[in-house]
Amino acid sequence: MSVTAPKGFRAAATAAGIKDEGLDLALLVADWGCSAAAVFTTNRAQAAPVIVSREHLAAGQARAVVVNAGCANAGTGEQGLRDARETAALVAREIGCRPGEVVVASTGVIGVCLPMEKVRSGIAHVVPSLSRDGGAVAARAILTTDTRPKEAVVEFPLDGHRATLGAMAKGSGMIAPNMATLLAFFTTDAALDPRLLHRALREAVGVSLNRITVDGDTSTNDIAVVLASGAVPVKAIMEEGRDYDAFRSALTQVARKIAGMIVRDGEGATRVAEVRVEGARVESEADRIARTVAESPLVKTALNGGDPNWGRVLAAVGRAGVDLDMGQVDLFLGDVWVAEGGRARDYDEARARQALAEDPIRIRVRLKEGRASGWMWTCDLSHGYVDINAHYRS
Amino acid sequence: MSVTAPKGFRAAATAAGIKDEGLDLALLVADWGCSAAAVFTTNRAQAAPVIVSREHLAAGQARAVVVNAGCANAGTGEQGLRDARETAALVAREIGCRPGEVVVASTGVIGVCLPMEKVRSGIAHVVPSLSRDGGAVAARAILTTDTRPKEAVVEFPLDGHRATLGAMAKGSGMIAPNMATLLAFFTTDAALDPRLLHRALREAVGVSLNRITVDGDTSTNDIAVVLASGAVPVKAIMEEGRDYDAFRSALTQVARKIAGMIVRDGEGATRVAEVRVEGARVESEADRIARTVAESPLVKTALNGGDPNWGRVLAAVGRAGVDLDMGQVDLFLGDVWVAEGGRARDYDEARARQALAEDPIRIRVRLKEGRASGWMWTCDLSHGYVDINAHYRS
């Protein structure tokens, strides 16, 4: 069900021919105007749909989201902007809203213009099939190198009623902190002030989608959007408090589920690891160290081989650009304390190897600099990653 | 010949049993005390031999260099320092110099102590075989995952004589700017003031060994050392001028040869690329963009597949953390101008694909921010890299 689980949303998808085969155009439509919020890629190279959707969402309102896979509409200049705007206008005309209420998202190859003839006929084709059961098919249509759809739903109590939060996402490669190639769409039948909705989204993404890395490459096209239909018959959440906390908690829960699915489906991923850093001076330094370990090709290939090569973790900690006393660094693989004060302990190699067979693998870095901590999720670097990316365009 | 090409040096190597098989202990000895200089890893996790060699080279003098492969003696705490000091003392006793005149270098697995019994017998064994022809065997003994030795020699005119500069190096993975797992040893029969020698080394490394990246992982063990025997019968270079320029030019030339050999022998490398960035505001920003492109796993897998996927280059430029106008970015693959002002040009795809078959592949990023430029050498990311690193310790 995913994005159509909450009341007030319909979805559909079609094979518009933008990809060589399969579903590639998804449409999500609310029954009426929703409050809406989004966060976007931090890459300075921003795809046309990112630029257009940012404009459209400035007022905190949206009615529909149209997503295509197979073409990122990035590196396409003015033509790309015209195409993204036309896509929004086509959807608006079909469903009866302003173009500015349509969010546009694209994923796929960079540097190629959208095949607008196919987009036009795809939109004409997809609108009549919008349905309250369309969430699953929409979740399939937004995928690229993903091997499976990512969907999640939670219910949460809201002022004596049950509200629902649903999500679909794509993301497999070009995944790095700060919204790498990742499209995530959240819907809820709660109602919220758009500014509160934005705050909740930023906080939820900060502890979920911004904590995963596959290859450290940040995309040009990332967007995470939330639409709140307000179909549940309770009053809108207009300030912080118990209801806001319930919503934010549900959004965080769903976003973390989605993040876990993405890293587990990372391109070529065969293992997943959580890197935790404790005892840092400030959170940003803990995060920086966790990210450096999580993105290290040598750590990631060791994960692939199931090799408890903690020396590579130590080396990554040392090059993270954080001022720290390496003579006070402890390392743990799972429950095995492998290094103390920056040097090897007399640990059981078989147990350390066993820790690399856990799911997720747990890498813990303990510093003695302060009390701040941070974490990242990552996956291994495998033959599969190379296969997928060496010939992606071909 | 490499490090024994200049007059005044002997070398030898032996299979001490530190690695499972093959040569793993190299010794380079000057006929008398040399002026010496070195640069070291910037990783905060510094191996014991790095710490000890830094102490020993503080006075700008050295007589010998002892190198082992198979064990990095990193993450080994106080025991590691004792072992590195004992190694230097053993060499000093055998050849008759102060322990402080012996440079120690190690490469291999992190977190394991040196097998000192093997080191002791290895040193006793290697000293009697020191010879003026020992450069080649020494260059083989310092390798780990390298597939071939790296040696270079140049001659240069010095005050009416011919002076010689030789080098040997190892480095294949954990190669990143600022001296990743890389050991480089330079010898010359010129004589220089140690401070000038250090300056020349820093400048040469800055445009050679610091410009290559294999995986962005900076090692704990890097060292580049130069020893100047002064065996050529001319007066020592004590100040900048024509002789210093001749020396620095020769050192830069050899260091660039060595750097090229290392990136070409990068773990699993099948292709080599040069990333040039022009039109940046300042050199550091040009370098940062070049490095981000050169280290991008998505760019490196595209190189592996021979895929002219310039969108990934554009995306890497955009996430480099440099403030720039992406609407003013031009991209070239070889001689093919593929993107202008941040968007696709109408280029010939077959010619772009051909540019990916060149050696080296040339990736050029042209900005309109200023007049500074920078560059990096990199290699592709292949199955071979994963194979080598997934089970390195096993």
Give A135-144 pLDDT, tens digit per residue.
999 999 999 8
Q: Torsion angle of alpha carbons A179, A180, A183, A188, nearest 10°?
A: -20
Domain spans of chain A? 2-264, 272-390
The pLDDT of residue B371? 96
Catalytic residues of B: 181
CB contact under 8 A, A307 and B216: no
Query: How far, in whole angstroms, is CA B163 from its chain's centroid?
Result: 23
At residue B275, the 3 state secondary structure works out as strand
Per-residue pLDDT tens for A270-282? 999 999 999 999 9
Specify the pTM.
0.80
Q: Is the pLDDT of residue B276 over 70?
A: yes
Cα–Cα nearest to A132, from A31, A23, A61: A31
Q: Is the pLDDT of residue A180 over 50?
A: no
Burial label, A102 (beta-carbon count in 10 A; 0-12, 13-18, 19+): buried
Share of chain B above pLDDT 70, in %: 95
- The answer to whether B267 and B385 have CB atoms below 8 angstroms apart is yes
Which distant-in-sequence residues (6+ apart) come within 8 Å of B1 by Cβ?
B133, B135, B136, B151, B153, B166
Among partner residues A79, A304, A312, which is closest to B386 by beta-carbon distance? A304
Q: Is the pLDDT of residue A177 over 50?
A: no
- The answer to whether B190 and B228 have CB atoms below 8 angstroms apart is yes
CB contact under 8 A, A342 and B77: yes
Give the residue-averaged pLDDT of B161-187.
75
Angle ∠(A127,A149,B295) on CA atoms, nearest 5: 115
Burial label, A81 (beta-carbon count in 10 A; 0-12, 13-18, 19+): middle
- The answer to whether A70 and A145 have CB atoms below 8 angstroms apart is no
The pLDDT of residue A4? 95
| Amino acid identity, position B355 | A
CB contact under 8 A, B43 and A298: no
CB contact under 8 A, A386 and B382: yes
| Amino acid identity, position A123 | I
Q: Is the pLDDT of residue A318 over 60?
A: yes
- Cα dist. A117→A90, A123, A124, A357, B259 in Å? 12, 10, 11, 49, 50
Q: Is the pLDDT of residue A181 over 80?
A: no
- The answer to whether A187 and A262 have CB atoms below 8 angstroms apart is no
Complex ipTM: 0.74
Among partner residues A76, A324, A381, which is closest to B343 by beta-carbon distance? A76
The pLDDT of residue B64? 96
Burial label, B359 (beta-carbon count in 10 A; 0-12, 13-18, 19+): exposed
> A-chain residues within 8 Å CB-CB of B80?
343
CB contact under 8 A, B343 and A381: no
At residue B387, the 3 state secondary structure works out as helix
Q: Is the pLDDT of residue B176 over 60?
A: no
> B-chain residues within 8 Å CB-CB of A324?
44
> A-chain residues within 8 Å CB-CB of B182?
none
CB contact under 8 A, B389 and A324: no
Q: Is A181 tagged catalytic?
A: yes
Residue B105 to residue B124: CA distance in whole angstroms = 18
Asked which of A7-16, A34-43, B327-336, B344-353 is least confident by mean pLDDT, the reply is A34-43
Give the residue-averaged pLDDT of A346-351.
94
Among partner residues B44, B318, B390, which is closest to A301 by beta-carbon distance? B390
> A-chain residues within 8 Å CB-CB of B390?
301-302, 304-305, 307
The second-level CATH assignment, the architecture, of A2-264 is 4-Layer Sandwich (3.60)
Per-residue pLDDT tens for B181-218? 578 899 999 999 999 999 999 998 888 888 887 666 66
The nearest CA of chain B is from the CA of A198 a distance in Å of 24
Among partner residues B220, B316, B344, which is closest to A217 by beta-carbon distance? B316
Residue A74 to residue A220: CA distance in whole angstroms = 7
Q: Tokens 């101008």 belong to which residue?
A: B337
> B-chain residues within 8 Å CB-CB of A316?
217
Q: How many CB pairs under 8 A join A and B?
A: 231
Q: Which residues of A226-250 are buried (b: 16+ CB within 10 A; e: fewer)?
A: bbbbbbbeeeebeeeeebbebbbeb
Per-residue pLDDT tens for A126-136? 999 999 999 99
The pLDDT of residue B313? 93
Residue B344 to residue A335: CA distance in whole angstroms = 51
Annotated catalytic residue within A181, A187, A220, A252:
A181
Cα–Cα nearest to B175, from B385, B390, B392: B385
Per-residue pLDDT tens for A291-312? 999 988 889 999 999 999 998 8
Higher pLDDT, A209 or B63: B63
Among partner residues B314, B318, B390, which is closest to A302 by beta-carbon distance? B390
The nearest CA of chain A is from the CA of B377 a distance in Å of 18
Selected for mutation to probe chain B from A42, A50, A73, A110 (highest B CB count within 10 Å) is: A110
CB contact under 8 A, B311 and A219: no
Q: Is the pLDDT of residue B378 over 80?
A: yes
For A189, what's the count of Cα atoms within 13 Å in the CB-facing half-sphere? 25
Domain B272-390 fold:
Ubiquitin-like (UB roll) (3.10.20)
> B-chain residues within 8 Å CB-CB of A44?
317-319, 322-324, 326
Among partner residues B45, B385, B393, which is closest to A307 by beta-carbon distance? B393
- Cα dist. B78→A6, A346, B49 in Å? 61, 15, 12
The pLDDT of residue B217? 63
| Amino acid identity, position A217 | D
Give the residue-averaged pLDDT of A254-271.
88
CB contact under 8 A, B215 and A309: no
Selected for mutation to probe chain A from B46, B110, B114, B325 (highest A CB count within 10 Å) is: B110
Which distant-in-sequence residues (6+ apart) come within 8 Å of B126 by Cβ?
B12, B13, B14, B16, B25, B26, B27
Residue A318 to residue A345: CA distance in whole angstroms = 18
The pLDDT of residue A17? 97
The nearest CA of chain A is from the CA of B110 a distance in Å of 5
> A-chain residues within 8 Å CB-CB of B311?
72, 74-75, 109-111, 220
Query: What does pLDDT average to over chain A?
Result: 90
Query: What does pLDDT average to over chain B?
Result: 90
Q: Is the pLDDT of residue B370 over 70?
A: yes
> A-chain residues within 8 Å CB-CB of B383?
383, 386-387
Confidence class for position B178, pLDDT limits 50, 70, 90:
very low
The pLDDT of residue A394? 42
The pLDDT of residue B103? 96
Which distant-in-sequence residues (6+ apart) come within 8 Å of B178 by Cβ?
B41, B42, B210, B218
For A323, nearest residue in chain B (alpha carbons): B44
- The answer to whether B66 and B88 have CB atoms below 8 angstroms apart is yes
Which distant-in-sequence residues (6+ apart) come within 8 Å of B17 by Cβ?
B24, B115, B118, B122
Confidence class for position B149, pLDDT limits 50, 70, 90:
very high
The pLDDT of residue A145? 80
Among partner residues B44, B176, B394, which is closest to A318 by beta-carbon distance? B44
